[in-house]
Structures are given as structure tokens and as C-alpha cells.
Structure 1
Amino acid sequence: MNGDWLLLGRDGRLSVYLPSGDAALWRAERTPAGDWEAPRRLGGDQKLRPGLAAARGANGYAHLVAWRPTGADRAGLVHTTHFRPLLAPLDWEPAGHPNKQGDRTGTPAVAVDAQGRAHVFVRNGGGGMSMVAQKEKGGWDPWRDLKGRGVQEAPAAVTAESGLVEVYAPVPDGIQHWRQEKPGERPVLGERVDAAVRPGTLRALATSGERTTVLYTDDGTGELCAWRPGGKPVPLMPAAGPGPVSAVRCVIDGHDCTVVAQRSSAGGRVAFAAYPSELEEMGAAWTESGPALPNDATVSLALDADGRLVAATLSPSTGQLRITRRKDEAGLALGAWREV
């Protein structure tokens, strides 16, 4: 799953999205902070290839993108919108292929601009970055080649507080950044930074009114690091486990903080850490919570309709979904985990 899979709907209910074999499933709260519905198949009966990506727009709509097989050694990207958690998502609709036709080229990433248009990013057959964006009144603009070389798995797309879309991608010995300068414009190739990125660990989020930050694990040191264009990577603390962290901004004791979470390799529990946003040099420390989880379990963070931090864990092998919420206490105090 590329991107956070726990998303808040516009009606205040949370949903989770997950790949399952050749399909994608979703579950939703029946009432905010209440019980959950059983899993349902998302977007009709079409079969999917690996590489589901998800993002939430400012309007609360969820956008999901995946590859669909279209023939022998051929695939195309498809997209669906989920307007409200208790309503079925739209069927998968074709979004095309960065090279017009061919096989799957890489894991997609998706971000949604201030106008509610999904922007889909994926490595193209030449190793660069390509993008396709929705039109405001339906359909898709033509695919755009954003250039770049040696793009690897998996990019991280993000919407800045300005509503402009950005994307980060690992490249040989570094991270490449693209950014929109005006709404609807093609993102332009920007800064590249030298970094030893562990594959599949990029996660990006807006961390202030002006800037976005990408988090990643340094493959040499094992440190969780943060980078913002215009600066240098800053190590934060040793990564708790493999894969990307989940990250969200929230207010803790009156301070704008970034909270990160990851399944710990050491004990299998969820490790949490918080630090003042964009002040990674202050460091952070992990605190573990909840029961030990299966090796394939992942964690996702979101804010609920009341702005309260919510964490979810999901194990694809068991289908076990657990939820916890932050208590009305000082610090990063979490309530008891409950299985739903």
C-alpha cells in the first residue's frame, strides 16, 4: 500500500483501505468512533495487480489508484473515488499508461490538489517520472513526462498546504523532488539530494504552510531521516522497523508536532514518537504500545473529526484490524487498543 490507508471521510467516519489478492477492500465506521462494518470489495469486480495507492482530498474524498491487467504482459492504471465511507466507491475507471501501453512500470503514488483533482505519479518505461491529472469536469489530461532518471520504488506524493502537489522519488544514491508552481501546471523537476535510501521507505507530508518533508530510512545507518528541499537530510532516530513510517501532524500540549509510527522489529509492537514539526534536530524517541503483531502488520495514522490522533494496525494474513485513540491527557497518551 503506497500512502496512508486510514483516511477520514467528509462525514466524520474513518475508513481503511487494503489490497487483498487481486482486489482492494475497504471497511468503514458505522458511526464516528463507533463500530465498524465488515470488509467490502472496492470498485467493482475488476482484478488488480500489486501496487494500490491512496490519498485524501481536502474535501474528504478518498482517491485510490492501482494497476489492472489488460492482456498478456500488459496493464493500465485505474482510479476510483470514494465519496463517503458508508457509500460504495465508484467503479474503477481507466487512467491510461505512462508509455501509452505496456506492462506495469512501477508502484503509483497519488495526491489531490486544492481543486479536488487527483494527480497520479508513476515511473515510466524509460526510468523517469510521469504524471496524469484529472480534469476539473471529468476525464484526464494527457500524460506528462516529468523527466528525471533512475526513478525507483516507490514514490511519495503529497499536497502542500497551498494545495499544490509535490512528489519525491528515490533515485540512485539520492532523492529527487518535483513541485507544482501554480495550480494545474506540470510539476517541475527540482532539487536532488544525496542519500542512501532504503527501498520502499519514503513517506511525505506537509509540515508547515510553506514546506513539505519527506521521511525515509538511511540504508547505511538505519536512521529515520527527514529532508526538505533547500536543506540537508537530518537524522531523527533509529528506524523501529522496515518499510515507511506513517506520519501525521497534530497539536500536542499546544505545540505543532509531527507524530510517526512504525511496527517495531524488536518486539512486534507499534512504536510511536513525536517531535516539534520541522525541528528534527531535537531528536525523538520511540515508545511502544499495544500487543505484539504479526510480521506483515502495518500501522497508519490519521486525525478524526475532532482532531484527535487515531492509529490503526492491520495484518493482511489475519485480517485483524485494531484501533486506538489519543486520550484527553497531556503528552502522547493512547487509549487501549481494540479489535474491530
Structure 2
Amino acid sequence: MRGRSARAASRRGSAVPVAAAASVPPSAVTGTATGTWLTRGKDGRLTAYAPAAGGLLRWTETRPGGPGWSGPDVVEVAGLTHLAVVQGADTYVHFLGRRERRRVNGAVEVDVVHAIQYQSGRPVTEWRSLGNPHREPDKARRFGAPSGAVASDGTVYVFAPNAGGGLMMRREGKGGRWEPWADLRGADVRDGLTAAATSDGRIEVFAPAEGAALHWFQSGPAALPQRSHDVRPAPRAGSVAALETAPGRLTYFWTDAAGTGLVCHRPGGWSVPLGGTPGEGANAVLRTALDGYDCTVIAHRGASGTVQVGVCATEAESSGLWWTDTGLACAGDPALAHDGRARVVVAAFDPGGTLRVARQTPEPGLVLGDWAPV
């Protein structure tokens, strides 16, 4: 299916030009994207993305494992108020944006837009509108920020809060045709939800709400997601990260809205407090092998404003996390990925808007090298 969809997308429209932008100052970065904004392509090269005035910026490694990078390149798309980056198992990178456009009569039109990058450093497809499920102008303006996931068969799922606090879903059907928006219901759903795919072909959604997190899951591949039990304590909006910690099983990590630190949860079990001192923003998670042990790495912007990295045994979080303050003051949320040499890489933007990366060194455990500007 994925190959058919890719060819169909190619026929539907030309790629959006990607312009070299060596003169773009770091201050052009307007924030960090949600989702996986540091990705590894099929060729092993890392790419970083950030929203900017008039579109998004892109930096790409010149060879797998670095240390050189090209960019920033500019991908133009006007009116984005939110950008989510989602990568599938096929390594295609999907961009989901919430777009606002002002009409000649002064009205503001809101829709969700989607584009794809098939290969590292290559052009991005034409941005395609996925519309807005609300017909009434007032409700349409209150449609929320999208998040998404790509199932193992290549199907793209898009989720967003509607004006009434419920959850809406739109997904790509056979042959690249998109199904209509579906109302998955719910109440008090807020921006900052997280969608994730499992290796057995399913999609799950974890959404912040008033006093709890709402959870949707698929009973099987392609099934309509259904509500599960609400989860407590409530997450801080935008802080939830999901990681497949066993085949078909996701573990969720988030920052407790009450300020008690990190929490993790696996559906069917109890939420486990992990402590720590996370600040505002998202948690990034990555599963990796350290000294022969299956480990989970967590990175976030701490309460002090610096990037903090924690490590624990996978699915043994209650045994404790070992934290390191990297000392880098950051703006926005850090990201985690494996580079082309299988090293853990942490990326973040410093307060001046410069992209910086730190890579795992060959020492025992997880030891990061110095932060290098890109």
C-alpha cells in the first residue's frame, strides 16, 4: 500500500521547492515541532526540523554519523500555527500542520495540511489540505493542533481536538485517498495529544484532559480506535511521549500536571511516579542497548532550563532513573535519535536559536560528548 500511495502522491502534485538558506539567522526559528523532529532516513543520515516564519527549516547530515551538516534549508508554507513531525517504519517523514489563512473579508480559515519527505535532503511534496470537520466558522477557528502516527502498513492517521473537546480522526485509505473525519468523542481533550504506532499494526492515542488522560486504542489493525479507561494523574499538556517497550506494548511517559515530576504508565497496569524535576514542554524517549542491557532514555528541558537526560532499564522504571544535567540551556524541547553509527544523539536549540547536538561516546553507560553547533 505504501508504494501505491507514494506514487499516487507523486501524481497528485509537484514537490515544493526546498531553498538553501545559509543566510537565515538562528533567530528565524520560532519554536520546536512536536513529534519526532529529529529523524533518521533510510540512508542513515539524521535530519532536524523546526518551524520558522513562513514555513519550516531543515538541517541534514552530509553523511551518516556526521559530524557535518547542510542547511538550514527552507520549506515554504504560510500560516502554520503548529507543526508536528511523524515518521513511519518506511522512514518517510510526514508533516502535519494547523494552518490559519485570512480571507479578503477578514475571516480566518483554519485547516490541517499534510506533506511528505520521502528521502533525506530531498524535496517535500506539495502541501495538501485535509480540511476541517467543522462547518460553522466559530467552531472551525477553535479546531485544535494535529498529531499523528503511521501504521506499519503505511496508513497515516491524523488526530486533533475539536471545538467541543472531543477527538477527531482522519486517515489515509486505500490508494492514497483520505477517509472523512471521524468523531471519536471524548470530553475536555486539549492540544498536546500523542499518537503512536505499534509493531503489530495498531495505533493508540493518549490525550490530556481535565483531571486525567484519555486513552484510545485499536483492537486490531485498521479498526476504529475506541476509548479505554481514563488514566491518572493528569498529564501536563504536550508532555506525553510513547515508546514501544515490548512487541505491541506501549509505555507512556509524561509530566504530572500537579508538579510531582515524571510518571509512566502501561495500559492494564498502574501509573508509576518517577520523580525528577521536568520543566514545561515535551519528554523525548528512545529505547537503546547500553552495556548489553535494554534501556530507555528520556530527555527533557528541566526546571532549571537545561537539557536533562535520564536512563532506566526498560519496563523497570520503578527501580530508578539515573539523571545527567547536560548543562545546555535550551529553548523548546530536546529530541532523541540513533545516528547512522547506532549512537544515541540528543538535539536541542539553544536560547539564541542555534541547533546543537551531543552524541554518545564509546564509554560504558550513556556518556555524551560536548554539544556541537550545527
Bin of the TM-score, shorter chain as denominator length: over 0.9
Name the structure 2 match of 1:339: 373
Normalization by structure 2: what TM-score?
0.85
Q: How many residues align?
A: 334
CA–CA distance in 2 between the matches of 1:265 and 1:192?
28
SS of equivalent to 1:259? strand
1:21 positional shift = 2.5
Match of 1:292 among 304, 322, 328: 328
Match of 2:346 among 294, 298, 311: 311
1:155 equivalent to 2:202? Answer no
Name the structure 2 match of 1:69: 100
Give the aligned residue type for 1:139.
R
Give the aligned residue type for 1:293.
A
Match of 1:128 among 140, 144, 166: 166
CA–CA distance in 1 between the matches of 2:332 and 2:189?
27
CA–CA distance in 1 between the matches of 2:219 and 2:341?
32
1:275 positional shift = 0.6
Residue pairs, 1:33-112, within 5 angstroms? 33-34=65-66, 35-42=68-75, 45-70=76-101, 71=103, 72-100=107-135, 102-112=140-150
1:14 positional shift = 0.6
Structure 1 116/305 Cα, relative in aligned 2: closer, same or farther at 3 Å?
farther
1:169 equivalent to 2:207? Answer yes
Q: Percent identity?
A: 34
CA–CA distance in 2 between the matches of 1:264 and 1:172?
24
Name stretches of at least 5 consecutive residues in structure 2 with no aligned partner: 1-32
CA–CA distance in 2 between the matches of 1:136 and 1:326?
41
When Rg is computed on C-alpha atoms for both structures, the one with the higher figure is 2
Name the structure 2 match of 1:251: 289
SS of equivalent to 1:75? strand
Name the structure 1 match of 2:20: none
Name stretches of at least 5 consecutive residues in structure 1 with no aligned partner: none
Name the structure 1 match of 2:320: 283
Normalization by structure 1: what TM-score?
0.93
Contact 1:48 1:66 in 2 (8 A): no
Match of 2:302 among 264, 268, 271: 264
CA–CA distance in 1 between the matches of 2:360 and 2:52?
29
Structure 1 range deviating more: 149-158 or 68-77: 68-77
Structure 1 range deviating more: 45-54 or 108-117: 45-54
1:205 equivalent to 2:205? Answer no
1:174 positional shift = 0.4
SS of equivalent to 1:225? strand
Give the aligned residue type for 1:270.
V
Contact 1:204 1:212 in 2 (8 A): yes
RMSD of aligned residue pairs (Cα, Å): 1.7
Superposed CA offset, 1:131-170 (max 9, x none)? 1111242131111111111101210111112131111001
Contact 2:241 2:254 in 1 (8 A): yes
Give the aligned residue type for 1:138.
G
SS of equivalent to 1:31? coil
Name the structure 1 match of 2:9: none
SS of equivalent to 1:181? coil
Name the structure 1 match of 2:12: none
CA–CA distance in 1 between the matches of 2:257 and 2:217?
25
Structure 1 287/88 Cα, relative in aligned 2: closer, same or farther at 3 Å?
same
- Which consecutive aligned stretches of 4+ in structure 1 deviate over 6 angstroms post-superposition? none
Give the aligned residue type for 2:74.
R
Give the aligned residue type for 1:245.
N
1:104 positional shift = 4.6
